[in-house]
Structure 1
């Protein structure tokens, strides 16, 4: 994935057209695999790459991870994309599980730029009633406590989005069973 290509595509073309095209491809599973593999790179792996002179590979992994998360965020911002991801429990739970893994990874190595995209993904998911209901149970604790306070200290927009996410999840739970996912929720 060429990050500049995706930024260009989203900035220079009709987003609805791009979203419709991306939803017809395997881009979401690809992005989720990249996001998962990037969040699983341990500190030991990073140190090993740094010490071996392969620091460029770490930057490549970070950039790929950020671009994949950006693409997912752009898909979610679109109403068609949000509906697609929240259409089935399997799709939603896979996205929620990967975002949760990213939060756990970001709690160890805080990166404000990547955290911004993750929070925006969660915030957009909270606009869907079924996803909001599920997020009440599976949102990582690190987003509810002060884990990211120092990271967000100078980032007012991400702080605002996180506060809005938490506010969205505080509203009264849905009692209509048709508006909830059936099945077990992804772990926190």
Structure 2
């Protein structure tokens, strides 16, 4: 699936959310047909599946169904993978993208779901990605952590146990140290990561303990 098709996907999502009709336009039909063809093409399947998962996680109606089906349980093993080779990193980024889409808009139902005892791996998984992932993985994982601790429930969950609090602080500190050692603090991509790190530090500093 090309960049142009990704752009078309975004346009179709925006159009679909702003209209009350349930019928596909001809352009929608052509796009879906191409999407199905991409799913059948081994070289394009990964991107097509990633976009499908992101669409499910982003749309308000399908997001709820994703939560009900507990589909994120199939994602957590990829977050906990410590292999840093390219294919593993691509899957790591795609998996983080789905979780990131779920928390993009703060929703207490989503946060409760992610922090439910039956889903104990989202925080450790994100911390693992902050430790072993690429800069993009680190950025998305830190964003997810920040979105979770913005809520009071997420804040309590992450700070109630000292080991959780210190694990996050250690991972955040290591990322800052890596940026400093690499002399990359002024780079644009590094600034995005640093912004999320600072937001996490600022939020964690508000915990009364």
Coarse TM-score class (shorter-chain normalised): 0.5 to 0.7
Return the offset for 1:7: 4.1
Q: Which has the higher contact order (CA 8 A, sep 6+)?
A: 1
Calculate the TM-score normalised by the size of structure 2.
0.48
Matches within 5 A, 1:62-77: 62-77=135-150
Query: Where in structure 2 are there 5+ consecutive unaligned residues?
Result: 1-92
Choose the corresponding residue for 2:126, options 15, 31, 41. 31
Residue in 2 that maps onto 1:97 = 170
Matched, 1:9 2:102: yes
Instruction: Return the alpha-carbon distance in structure 1 between the equivalents of residues 178 and 137 of structure 2.
Output: 15
Matched, 1:115 2:194: yes
CA offsets 1:108-144 (integer angstroms, 9 cap, x no match)? 32210000000000000011022xxxxxxxxxxxxxx
Matches within 5 A, 1:1-188: 1-2=93-94, 3-11=96-104, 15-24=107-116, 25=119, 26-38=121-133, 61-107=134-180, 108=182, 109-110=184-185, 111-130=190-209
Query: Where in structure 1 are there 5+ consecutive unaligned residues?
Result: 39-60, 131-188
Q: Between Structure 1 and Structure 2, how many residues are aligned?
A: 107
CA offsets 1:42-83 (integer angstroms, 9 cap, x no match)? xxxxxxxxxxxxxxxxxxx22221111111011111110111
Instruction: Return the alpha-carbon distance in structure 2 between the equivalents of residues 76 and 106 of structure 1.
Output: 23
Structure with higher Rg: it is 2
Calculate the TM-score normalised by the size of structure 1.
0.53
Query: Is residue 129–residue 141 contact of structure 2 (8 Å, CA) maintained in 1?
Result: yes
